[in-house]
Structure 1
Amino acid sequence: MTDTAAPSTFRLGSELPVRRLGYGTVHLTGRGAWGPRGSDSNATAVLRRAVELGVTLVDTADNYGPGMAEERVAAALHPYAEDLVVATKGGVVRTSAEAWHVAGRPEQLRAMCEASLRRLRVERIDLYQLHRLDPDVAMAEQLGALAELRDAGKVRHVGLDSVTAEQLRAALDLDIVPIVSVQNRYNVLDRVSEPLLELCEERGIAFLPWFPLGNGTLPDNPVCAEIAKAHGATPSQIALAWLLHHSPVLCPTPGTGSVAHLEENLAAAGVRLTADDLARLDALTDRR
């Protein structure tokens, strides 16, 4: 059986290189991404260790905390390394751990972006993603606001979160602003978004899967566990390695508030799965 190597980098918008295995900041905040989780010093240690280990894509959002995750990123990493891409999101307002309110009016998106710029201490956000499409606001208006932010030099690249393939195609057909990334739930056991992934592959768009480890459920899968044992790895590492092998546009950003867990996750980039491993993992589709 031949080991296969996955490409380690992806170019956002065909020009901004990132290492495909990044780091997500949601676990630097509390349950429901509300309030703090752990100390500021621990958050700083995790973020700095991620960069030390070669992470060049840090994914956050204005409503994690809310505001806290972006502030912790800036406190730990600003001034940012030249090759570090900090991606954030706007378009959702939080009022509690359980309450998420979509807010896609142009004036709301502009205000959210300005607030993120201040918290991240930057003049331009590398990747600004619309956290949710607002069903009460025309898509053209929402994309138009993002285009204005890009034209004003406040945003370098634009992405979308939690969209269908049909919605992404509609956004691309409108041709108001280039879309360089999407974020959707996706992992080795949950591939509802496979049609979206296929469209991303066609168009060269990055796909940042959230819940890449099934929100902690994948280590219990016996196939992942069996393959992990053969590689001297953990089931979580196998699940992340599968994502890196499955498609060159997949850029997982698993989150954690633990340095040890971070190191384990990032070591998945060195796992080389065999063709037989990949076939067995591919066959897990939609099994719960």
Structure 2
Amino acid sequence: MELIIFLAIGALAGFAAGLFGVGGGTIIVPLLFIVFTQMGFNPDVIMHLALGTSLATIIVTSISSFMAHHKNGAVIWPVFQNFAPPMAIGCFIGAGIAGWLSGIHLQIIVGVFLIWVAYTMFKGAKQIIDSNKELPSARQQRLAGAGIGLASAIFGIGGGSITVPYLNRYGVVMQKAVGTSAACGLPIAIAGALGFMFFGMKAQVDIPNTIGFVHIYAFLGISIMSFMTAKLGAKAAHALSPAVLKKCFSALLLLVGCFFILKGMNQSR
């Protein structure tokens, strides 16, 4: 029964990722939080499990995604080379910070982040990119990569919600920004998943079918289905208005973000 639920989450997350052009983490984390709560897991570690498992599933989806973008010539490899190492280091450190934070604080932090993503997505529906701008220096890119990696672990995402706006800001067209972000998602996801496993094992999480803060059944079910349904979502996106889709999804993220913040504040009282 658990595996069926995780397969359903993967199907929804993959379809949404393809449809709305964002990483599945923004969908996976809230759904896993609800499912793990219903399964009666320790409330203190539910958010950590949702974040760690989300990052583990992104390993699989990012491989498929960045290979497709590479075939279309949409990955800026010099930028990836500057981003990847500090992103991986930052993400591993971020996993340690997330492990140290309480579940309540993580809920509030993730809730605020989802509201920020909702705002940027709503605003970006009509964004015009200035192609005359130039990317910052390699050193500045490495610093940005470390920050993106750190944030990605705490939010349980592959970094696309931060990397894409960053690259757009410096004149990178959307297709190449998304392609480069997809490639960067792999080192982020690997380092983040290993970090949540490591720090979760140190915390001695006593929940069946887990390695540290990663739930194995959830990882398998979500990875399998999201890999398959992401392509369906991408096809559906071409038949609909991207601007309308982004506005609808931003409204959903706003609701989920508010849910996390209110729940975290109520538990802290």
TM-score range, shorter chain: under 0.3
Whose helix proportion is higher, 1 or 2? 2
TM-score (norm 1): 0.25
Q: Which has the higher contact order (CA 8 A, sep 6+)?
A: 2
Rg bigger for which structure?
1
**TM-score computed with the length of structure 2 as normaliser:** 0.26
